[in-house]
Amino acid sequence: MGTEIERKFLVRNDTWKTSNSTLFRQGYLTIDPNRTVRVRLAGNKGYLTLKGLNRGAVRLEYEYSIAVQDAREILDQLCYHPLIEKRRYRVAHAGCNWEIDEFLGNNLGLVLAELELDYEDQPFDRPTWLGEEVTYDDRYFNSSLVKNPYTEW
């Protein structure tokens, strides 16, 4: 069984920013509160991901590699639109590996930091650029941003 424990935060400023990023395009085949099915292009790699219902910061997650051409066709022809487009940066801070997503397109202006943990209330050092926690606010789920893009808030 795959379990993801992830906390999510708004980002205050760009002092974290590095020059290395990966362009992501992702879409959803289903957007159901109990389960999502996502297709993603991350650089030159394709993925199919199944996610279960969030229980706090914890949920089931299963991810599988798929052919890039298959991912492109699924994104263009089968997924809900608009697609999620973002640049992902990986930033190390105090022994933790943060993923920072700078959204593009219909979610331009939104910047989120995510941290995967071993357990939900695991302590970690908060970087100075870290803002308000939004882990429990479903408006910030990528699947929600398809239905209600950030630029329309």
Q: How far apart are CA 23 and CA 43, in angstroms?
A: 5
Which residues, including other chains, have CB under 8 Å from residue 59's CB and lie 6 or more apart? 3, 4, 51, 52, 53
CA distance 1 to 79: 26
Alpha-carbon distance values, 25 to 61, 99, 133 (Å): 19, 16, 24
Confirm if 113 and 119 have CB atoms less than 8 A apart: no
Residue 28 annotated to the active site: yes
- Given 28, 62, 64, 136, the catalytic residue: 28
Task: Give the closest residue to 23 by CA, choosing from 106, 115, 103.
Answer: 103
Tokens representing 110? 């939104």
Annotated catalytic residues are: 28
